Structure 1
Amino acid sequence: MKRWMSFLCLIVLILTGCTNSHVKESKPPKTEIVTEGKHYKTVLGSYCWRDGDKGVCVDSAQPKAKEPIAVQPGADIELKINYDPQPNEVHLSLVNGKKEIELPVEKGHFKAPGKTGTYNYIYSVWWMDEKDKHMSHGDALYGFSLKVQ
């Protein structure tokens, strides 16, 4: 009987250790650009994220896309994060050298510029605490480029 109970306890411990219900991602979720039905990756830059019971912060240079995304002038651009909960504070900046211009984002969408050219963007997101407005549960910067043609 003791052997049977020991075996049962061992199986329960193994199965409990193999579940992933409490596993958190060690990095912020991936963010995609969606336009004209196509999905494109962004580049993750600096972030602070909770990894289990530890906080992890990574500082990096400004994230830059390897290849700009070709779009039409004025195209609808969606910034998509497949994660729950969604960030509750977002900012989009157009980067021109050392100058940044903040752009409006409406329900995760914005419009591409009307003039041809290559445009670099930084998408900043925060998961702020709903009760304590000064407490962040995570934040991340994502970079991408659009080539309006």
Structure 2
Amino acid sequence: MKKLLISLALLLITACEVKPPQLTAKVNKEPIKVYQGSYCWNENGRGECADTALPEEMVKGNVPTVVSKASELKVHFDYEPKKGSVGANIWTNGEAKDQKIVNSDTIILPRKPGIYVYSVHANWEEGDSSYALQVEVK
């Protein structure tokens, strides 16, 4: 009986979580690790905001996924954002520069070899969220 009560309590806590949609990213069907960034999300009468470090700090110390020059980085949300709200930045030394997104889901990666950190952000009726990822172009 005690195990059943604990299981039910965990289920209720999990069901009440207020989290933004998940983002997946791939290059040539190879998954790229995505880090949850800052967000504010309101759902079912509950709201939550979380602030994170800058994308370069979030990925620091983690091994980037190696990709080919000029590859296409495809991004996908598990819940469709507002039309026209998806954006991206490329980060260098704490500075963000706008990064063009093609068809709301594709970032063309650089031709120059190096490690690149990106942030992707979007808006929904329930709130907004940002995400970070890094790749190494070889």
- Taking structure 2 as the reference length, the TM-score comes to 0.77
2-side partners of 1:67 and 1:110: how far apart? 20
Separation in structure 2 between the aligned mates of residue 24 and residue 106 of structure 1, nearest angstrom: 35
CA contact (8 A) 2:41 2:128 kept: yes
1:71 to 43, 67, 70: 67
* 2:18–2:47 Cα contact (<8 Å) kept: no
| CA distance, structure 2, for counterparts of residue 100 and residue 74 of structure 1 | 20
**Which structure exhibits the higher relative contact order, with contacts defined as CA atoms closer than 8 Å and separated by 6 or more residues?**
2
Rounded Cα–Cα distance in structure 1 between residues aligned with 2:136 and 2:17:
32
How many residues are treated as equivalent by the alignment?
Answer: 119
Structure 2 CA distance for aligned equivalents of residues 145 and 41 of structure 1: 8
CA contact 1:43–1:143 (8 Å) conserved in 2: yes
Are residues 1:40 and 2:37 paired?
A: no
Tell me how far 1:98 sits from its aligned partner.
2.1
Separation in 1 of the partners of 2:99 and 2:44?
Answer: 34
Runs of 5+ consecutive residues of structure 2 not aligned to the other structure:
1-14
What whole-Å deviation, never above 9, does each CA across 1:79-104 have from its counterpart, x for those lacking one? 11122x33430110000012211011
Render the CA deviation track for 1:55-100: whole Å, top value 9, x for unaligned: 21111212423221211000011011122x3343011000001221
The answer on 1:114 being equivalent to 2:106 is no
Alignment of 1:87-102 (within 5 A): 87-88=82-83, 89-102=85-98
Distance 1:87 1:68 in 2: 29
SS at match of 2:31: strand
Cα deviation, residue 25, structure 1? 5.5
Of residues 119, 124, 145, the one that matches 2:121 is: 124
TM-score, normalised on structure 1? 0.72
Q: Is 1:59 matched up with 2:48? A: no
TM-aligned CA distance change 1:115 to 1:146, over 3 Å: same
User: Is the deviation greater in 73-82 or in 86-95?
Assistant: 86-95
Instruction: Find the aligned partners of 1:78 and 1:24 in 2 and give their Cα distance.
Output: 30
Provide the rounded CA distance (Å) in 2 between the counterparts of 1:97 and 1:87. 30
Q: Which runs of 5+ in 1 are unaligned?
A: 1-22, 130-136
Answer yes or no: is 1:82 the counterpart of 2:88: no
Q: What root-mean-square deviation, in Å, do the aligned CA atoms of Structure 1 and Structure 2 show?
A: 1.9
CA distance in 1, matches of 2:72, 2:38: 26
**Partner secondary structure for residue 86 of structure 2:** strand
| SS in structure 1 at match of 2:81 | coil
